[in-house]
Amino acid sequence: MAKLDITITGDLGSGKSSVAKVLCKMLNFNYFSTGVIQRQIAKEKGLNTLELNYFSENNLDIDKYIDDQVIKLNDVPDPFILDSRMAWHFIRKSFKIYLTVDPIVAAQRVIADNQREGEPLIEDAYQKSLNLLERRAAEDKRFKAIYGVDCGDLSNYDLVLDTTGFTIDEIAKKIVERYTEFFNQTKENN
């Protein structure tokens, strides 16, 4: 069987990037993040990530640029872990994962993440949780309008995990276990 990528999406602050990086080490896959691209574009435009989401509603070239980078990976023979809101939709053969998290825990994680650039500076966990939910709603609305897909429809995914209260390593081990099962079933059916 050809490669089977892993696409990870989910709630903001659910640990998508951290889990993806650990999975890359465990499985020896390459890493790709649309969030890194999005934050770079936001920085170049002097915007934070929420502002870029609203800006992108009327500037479809931003989503097109990011989506084109994802779509190109279909033709790369090496396997990837894609940390991306829409990769599950664009990658032809992938194990699709959605990570959930309690909104306050998500906010606390984002506030504590010193590596995260382009986030609106909000130190209150409740206010930050509202900010993250607003950003997600803006993305969901835009993606539904552009692509006709609902990122929040959990039936789109092969695995849904709640990361609240679990370590990155625990989540990664569970994903490897389920990915291996999925890969073997897919191989048998082809």
Output the tens digit of pLDDT for each of the chain's 190 residues: 568 999 999 988 899 999 999 999 999 999 999 988 988 998 999 988 778 878 888 888 998 999 999 999 999 999 999 999 899 999 999 999 999 999 888 888 877 766 655 555 667 777 877 777 787 888 888 889 888 999 889 999 999 999 999 999 999 999 999 999 999 988 777 6
The C-alpha atoms of residue 35 and residue 121 are separated, in whole angstroms, by 17
The C-alpha atoms of residue 34 and residue 32 are separated, in whole angstroms, by 7
* Structural domains counted in the chain: 1
Where does the chain have alpha helices with state H?
16-27, 34-45, 49-56, 60-72, 87-90, 103-112, 125-147, 168-189
The pTM assigned to this predicted structure is 0.85
Domain that holds residue 61: 5-189
- Helices 34-45 and 60-72 cross at an angle (nearest 10°) of 150
CATH number at residue 178: 3.40.50.300
